[in-house]
């Protein structure tokens, strides 16, 4: 399997994040991708290359133009408010929740930052835009290669993407790499595309992007939003809207779920993807389902991820993998590469 690696990912390196009422060191750190790359190289699993470059038009196929414009200049605006901000990450302080307007773009930078975000746990840093944009190019390159006939490709990038919506960031995510890859498949001629999210946390951004579309099927197995982030989306009764009704499948699972039960949910998701008639599949590959993950709650073991890869390969679809969560940093390389290895052994 070919890996498209974001050499700029470490430019996004938050100092702290807000977690349960206090500022703590970031869970989402550059070492996550570094360990995956090291494990790929140790096993000599395929080849690694840099992404092609794409212009922003490929990104605005998924994300609102005014949101992309905001991200492009956000760090410079933050520092312009106060030169001392160059030593501090930027966090939102205000949000336009129910009854507030979101159609008017405020002149105030803090107000716009709140408009385009939904939590206070995602630090925006000096290199966030460069890292996120390069990550989108990784996803686009992977989709282009697979659209061109390659069986599979892996976009190894961070920050992750599945919590980012068309015009908002949160959950460590700024650009939705999985959605960008799915749209790239559509633009290359795939009539129907599936996005399968196996991260512990629901891919709320991906769901929101495709919720009313009949051409992209979104399936997610994740921690029950009654108790797990992102809380406000991911319930089983969310099945799509309008023309997209029936093209959204949420399989929320309780904290403590073991691999046998989790695998049953995966089988159901793959069954629905086959019934949908997808021509290609994008996998939001989060490995925070691992039992040792510090901010998640499932019980998968490292060896289980080999079987996950084999199950995904059995779907028989051209597949792009996009790196998402996984915060047990010492094990993230083994767990991620086990999925790719299991896929390759079966494909």
Among the options 13, 163, 202, 222, which is catalytic? 163
Q: Radius of gyration over alpha carbons of the chain, in Å? A: 19
CA 310 to chain centre: 21
| Cβ pair 155, 138 in contact under 8 A | yes
Sign for the pseudo-dihedral over CA of 326, 228, 179, 96: negative
CA 55 – CA 10 distance, rounded (Å): 21
Tell me, yes or no, if 163 is annotated catalytic: yes
CA 230 – CA 170 distance, rounded (Å): 9
| Cβ pair 221, 198 in contact under 8 A | yes
Listed residue (137, 139, 116, 159) closest to 28, CA to CA: 159
CA 143 – CA 140 distance, rounded (Å): 5
CA 228 – CA 281 distance, rounded (Å): 26
Rounded to 5 degrees, φ, ψ at 112 are -70, -35
Catalytic positions, please?
163
């Amino acid at each position: 399997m070919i890996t498209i690696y974001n050499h700029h990912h470490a430019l996004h390196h938050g100092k702290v994040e807000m977690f349960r009422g206090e500022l703590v060191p970031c869970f989402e750190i550059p070492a996550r991708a570094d360990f995956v790359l090291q494990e790929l190289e140790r096993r000599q699993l395929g080849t690694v290359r840099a992404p092609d470059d794409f212009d922003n038009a490929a990104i605005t196929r998924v994300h609102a133009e005014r949101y992309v414009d905001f991200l492009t200049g956000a760090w410079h605006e933050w520092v312009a408010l106060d030169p001392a901000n160059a030593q501090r990450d930027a966090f939102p302080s205000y949000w336009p929740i129910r009854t507030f307007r979101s159609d008017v773009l405020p002149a105030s930078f803090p107000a716009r930052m709140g408009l385009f975000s939904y939590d206070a746990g995602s630090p925006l840093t000096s290199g966030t835009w460069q890292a996120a944009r390069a990550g989108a190019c990784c996803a686009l390159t992977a989709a282009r290669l697979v659209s061109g006939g390659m069986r599979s490709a892996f976009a190894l990038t961070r920050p992750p993407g599945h919590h980012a919506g068309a015009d908002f960031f949160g959950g460590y995510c700024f650009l939705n790499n999985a959605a960008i890859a799915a749209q790239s498949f559509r633009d290359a001629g795939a009539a129907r595309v599936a996005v399968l999210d196996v991260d512990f946390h629901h891919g709320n951004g991906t769901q929101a992007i495709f919720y009313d579309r009949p051409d992209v099927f979104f399936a997610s197995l994740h921690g029950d939003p009654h108790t797990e982030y992102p809380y406000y989306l991911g319930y089983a009764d969310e099945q799509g809207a309008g023309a997209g009704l029936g093209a959204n499948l949420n399989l929320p699972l309780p904290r403590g779920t073991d691999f046998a039960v989790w695998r049953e949910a995966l089988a159901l998701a793959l069954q629905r993807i086959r019934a949908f008639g997808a021509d290609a599949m994008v996998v939001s590959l989060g490995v925070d389902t691992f039992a040792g993950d510090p901010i998640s709650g499932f019980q998968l073991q490292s060896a289980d991820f080999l079987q996950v890869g084999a199950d995904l390969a059995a779907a028989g679809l051209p597949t792009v993998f996009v790196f998402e969560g996984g915060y047990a940093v010492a094990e993230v390389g083994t767990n991620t590469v086990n999925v790719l290895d299991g896929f390759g052994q079966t494909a």
